[in-house]
């Protein structure tokens, strides 16, 4: 290897060991330690714990402290079970290795999924490098280009769409839900009235609802902050349909996995497979925007910290804007 007018060489049994040595040595030289690197001679071949063992440790020690910890644990189990790349020592995994993994993964799943998984893998490499001192000098995920993000969704939900879905879920929209399917319909309408995420609604307890102040307190949201969601008349009407239970009882008593299945089945039966539950957040934000005086008020309701993210959820139709121009 030649860098800054000097040369170093070493012999290894495998290509992976040679690449790991090259990356580590080049990093030292670029940091200005060429003389010291030459004096030390070739570093030992890549060794130590396998990446999969450190990934598993991350799932046990780090993931549980995150809001999306359950998703991480499931994803990490899949990575260590399915890909032999992570059987190798973590110091032997290179940028080209991760690029090859990325390209193979793109043949099976969307770019968004690959980006989420790359972000998780990168976090594990960084944590192992900084906190566990595994001998890793460079995060290989930093050496590759992430797949281009697809266009953001623009799907809106019409009145006819929502009526078709709750009809398949067996709820009339006015009586107290009695079955899990009806509770899913109730949550769907509550999302359309508040712009809350599915996870936020399922985490709500009756103690979080303040009927006098007309607000719902979210102790933990996706961005890590708490938030008070103002409740419109429509939202208040929905909540008053339900008999108030114990303060610690969930407002919507359905588990996440079962909830997702029931909603998927209902929208498929209604012939609306293109609709996602999360589209209710876009519909709610777009409906609320004309009623508010500025974008900061809308951001306070939805919990978005940046205008660029809020723009993903504000999707007015051209006809709606044209009508406002003539008002």
pLDDT in tens, the chain (327 residues): 776 566 677 666 667 767 777 777 777 666 665 555 544 444 444 446 899 999 999 999 999 988 778 889 999 999 999 999 999 999 889 999 999 999 999 999 989 899 999 999 999 999 998 898 887 888 999 999 999 877 788 899 999 999 999 999 999 999 999 999 999 999 999 999 999 999 999 999 999 999 999 999 998 777 667 899 999 999 999 999 987 788 899 999 999 899 999 999 999 999 999 999 999 999 999 999 989 888 889 988 998 888 888 888 888 888 888 888 887
Catalytic hit among 3, 153, 222, 276: 222
DSSP β-ladder status, 215-218 and 209-210: antiparallel
- Residue 153 maps to a domain: no
Assess whether 179 and 254 both reside in one domain.
Answer: yes
Q: Does the active-site annotation cover 313?
A: yes
Other C-beta atoms lying within 10 Å of the C-beta of residue 57: 16
- Residue 152 maps to a domain: no
Report pLDDT for 303: 87
Catalytic hit among 105, 168, 313, 315: 313
| Total domains, the chain | 3
pTM, 2 dp: 0.68
Domain final position from 143, 173, 207: 143
Catalytic hit among 57, 127, 276, 278: 278
Closest by Cα among 267, 246, 269 to 185:
267
Assess whether 131 and 173 both reside in one domain.
Answer: no
- 216 three-state secondary structure: strand
The domain spanning residue 165 has which CATH number?
A: 1.10.443.10
Assess whether 74 and 24 both reside in one domain.
Answer: no
Assess whether 120 and 25 both reside in one domain.
Answer: no
Range of the domain at 13: 2-40
Q: Does the active-site annotation cover 197?
A: yes
Catalytic hit among 162, 281, 282, 315: 281
Report pLDDT for 42: 47
Assess whether 79 and 210 both reside in one domain.
Answer: no
Q: Does the active-site annotation cover 240?
A: no
Assess whether 77 and 187 both reside in one domain.
Answer: no
Domain final position from 143, 178, 202: 143
Q: How far apart are CA 29 and CA 243, in angstroms?
A: 69
- Residue 265 maps to a domain: yes
DSSP β-ladder status, 2-3 and 227-230: unpaired
29 contacts: CB under 8 Å, gap ≥ 6: 3, 4, 6, 37
Q: Does the active-site annotation cover 324?
A: no
Query: What sign does the dihedral 57-60-66-72 (CA atoms) show?
Result: positive
294 contacts: CB under 8 Å, gap ≥ 6: none
Catalytic hit among 102, 197, 198, 227: 197
């Amino acid at each position: 290897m030649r860098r800054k007018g000097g040369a170093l060489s070493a012999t290894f049994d495998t290509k992976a060991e040679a690449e790991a040595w090259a990356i580590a040595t080049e990093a030292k030289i670029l940091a200005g330690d060429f003389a010291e690197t030459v004096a030390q001679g070739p570093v030992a071949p890549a060794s130590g714990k396998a990446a999969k063992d450190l990934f598993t440790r991350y799932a046990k020690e780090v993931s549980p402290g995150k809001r999306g910890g359950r998703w991480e644990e499931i994803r990490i189990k899949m990575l260590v079970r399915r890909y032999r790349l992570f059987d190798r020592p973590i110091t032997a995994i290179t940028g080209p290795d991760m690029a090859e993994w990325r390209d193979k993964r793109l043949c099976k799943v969307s770019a968004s999924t690959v980006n989420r998984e790359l972000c998780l893998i990168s976090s594990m490499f960084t944590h192992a490098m900084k906190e566990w001192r595994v001998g890793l000098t460079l995060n290989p995920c930093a050496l590759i280009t992430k797949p281009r993000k697809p266009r953001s969704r623009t799907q809106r939900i019409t009145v006819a769409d929502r009526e078709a879905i709750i009809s398949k879920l067996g709820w009339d929209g006015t009586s107290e839900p009695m079955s899990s399917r009806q509770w899913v319909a109730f949550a769907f309408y509550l999302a359309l009235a508040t712009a809350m995420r599915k996870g936020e609604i399922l985490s709500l307890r009756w103690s979080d609802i303040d009927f006098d102040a007309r607000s719902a307190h979210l102790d933990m949201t996706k961005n890590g902050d708490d938030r008070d969601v103002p409740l419109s008349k429509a939202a208040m009407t929905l909540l008053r349909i339900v008999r108030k239970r114990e303060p610690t009882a969930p407002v919507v008593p359905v588990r996440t996995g079962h909830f997702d299945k029931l909603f998927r089945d209902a929208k498929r039966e209604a012939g609306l497979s293109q609709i996602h539950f999360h589209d209710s957040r876009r519909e709610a934000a777009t409906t609320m925007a004309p009623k508010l005086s500025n974008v900061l008020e809308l951001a306070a309701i939805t919990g978005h910290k940046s205008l660029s993210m809020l723009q993903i959820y504000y999707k007015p139709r051209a006809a709606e804007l044209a009508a406002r121009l003539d008002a």
